[in-house]
C-alpha cells in the first residue's frame, strides 16, 4: 500500500506571512495525521522562509506517523537531521535560493559526496532516499551511494499528463522497474495532484510513498483539510 505523506511547508509559509503562530503548524500536522495522513514531510531551507529549524525539532516528539525531512545536505541540515532522527531523510540537490526542487541528483558526479552523507545518516539509524529523475544511468548508480530508496521527481509527468498520459508515465514505469531490480525502495513527489495521482499510482509498481504539499494545501482551501486528505488517500487505494 502506498503511503501519503503530507508536506506542510505551505502551512508554514502562510504562518510566516504575518508572523505569530497562525495557523499553528504543530496542530495542523497533528490534524493531518488524525485525518488519515500516513506521514508528515517538511523541507527546511537555510533562510527558513517557510519551515523553521525549530519547527523540525518541535514536530518530532508529537508525530505518531512517519516523519520525513527533505533538503540539501549542508552541514547545518546534517546536524539538524541527525539530532532529530526522523524515520526518513530525503536528499535533494537544490541550491539554497531555489524556489522549489527542480532537478534530481547526478549520482555519477556526486557519488562520493552522497555516499559520505548517506553513511552519516545511516550511522544514526535514519532511512535515506535521494531525489532523482528517470535517467536509467542515474538510477543505476544509486545503489553505490548506499541509499535505501529513490524518490522519483514527477514534474515532467505532471506537466505532460494532460496531453499524453501514456507517454508521460512510461519513463517512470521503466525507472520503477529498474529500482526494483536494484533492490531500491521507491517514493515519488512533485506536482502530483487529484487529477494525475490515481493514474500514476496505478501504473507504477512498488510505489511505497508519495509526498504531496502544494496541490493538497491548495485543494484544502476549497474542500477542507480533512476531506482533501481523504480524497488523496482514495487515489492511492
Residue 38 appears among annotated catalytic residues: no
70 in catalytic set: yes
- Asked if 192 and 158 count as a contact pair (C-beta separation under 8 A), the reply is yes
Catalytic residue among 70, 133, 151, 209: 70
Q: Which pLDDT band holds residue 98 (cuts at 50, 70, 90)? A: low
- Rounded to the nearest 10°, the torsion over CA 206, 208, 213, 218 is 60
151 is catalytic: no
Residue 130 CA to residue 25 CA, distance in Å, equals 26
* Residue 119 predicted with pLDDT over 70: yes
46-95 residue pLDDT tens: 899 999 999 999 999 999 999 999 999 999 999 999 999 999 999 999 76
Catalytic one of 43, 50, 133, 151: 43
Banded model confidence at residue 103, pLDDT cuts 50, 70, 90: confident
Could you tell me the domains of the chain? Answer: 3-235 (3.20.20.70)
- According to DSSP, the β-strands at 207-212 and 66-71 are unpaired
The Cα–Cα gap between 111 and 188 comes to: 21
Of 33, 38, 133, 190, the active-site residue reads: 190
- What are 144-203's pLDDT values in tens digits? 999 999 999 999 999 999 999 999 999 999 999 999 999 999 999 999 999 999 999 999
pTM score: 0.94
Amino acid at each position: 500500500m502506498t503511503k501519503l505523506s503530507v508536506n506542510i511547508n505551505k502551512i508554514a509559509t502562510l504562518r510566516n506571512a504575518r508572523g505569530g503562530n497562525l495557523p499553528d503548524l504543530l496542530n495542523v500536522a497533528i490534524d493531518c495525521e488524525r485525518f488519515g495522513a500516513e506521514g508528515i514531510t517538511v523541507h527546511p531551507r537555510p533562510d527558513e522562509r517557510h519551515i523553521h529549524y525549530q519547527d523540525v525539532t518541535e514536530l518530532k516528539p508529537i508525530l505518531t506517523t512517519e516523519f520525513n525531512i527533505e533538503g540539501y545536505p549542508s552541514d547545518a541540515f546534517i546536524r539538524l537531521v541527525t539530532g532529530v532522527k526522523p524515520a526518513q531523510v530525503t536528499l535533494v540537490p537544490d541550491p539554497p535560493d531555489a524556489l522549489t526542487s527542480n532537478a534530481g541528483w547526478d549520482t555519477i558526479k556526486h557519488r562520493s559526496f552522497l555516499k559520505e552523507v548517506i553513511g552519516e545518516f545511516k550511522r544514526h539509524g535514519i532511512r535515506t532516499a535521494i531525489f532523482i529523475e528517470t535517467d536509467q544511468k542515474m538510477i543505476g548508480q544509486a545503489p553505490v551511494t548506499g541509499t535505501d530508496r529513490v524518490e522519483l521527481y514527477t514534474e515532467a509527468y505532471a506537466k505532460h499528463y494532460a496531453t499524453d498520459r501514456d507517454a508521460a508515465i512510461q519513463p517512470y514505469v521503466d525507472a520503477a522497474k529498474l529500482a526494483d531490480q536494484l533492490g531500491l525502495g521507491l517514493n515519488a513527489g512533485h506536482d502530483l495532484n487529484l487529477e494525475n495521482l490515481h493514474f500514476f499510482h496505478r501504473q507504477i509498481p512498488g510505489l511505497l510513498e508519495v509526498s504531496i504539499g502544494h496541490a493538497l494545501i491548495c485543494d484544502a482551501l476549497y474542500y477542507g483539510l480533512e476531506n482533501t486528505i481523504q480524497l488523496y488517500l482514495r487515489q492511492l487505494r
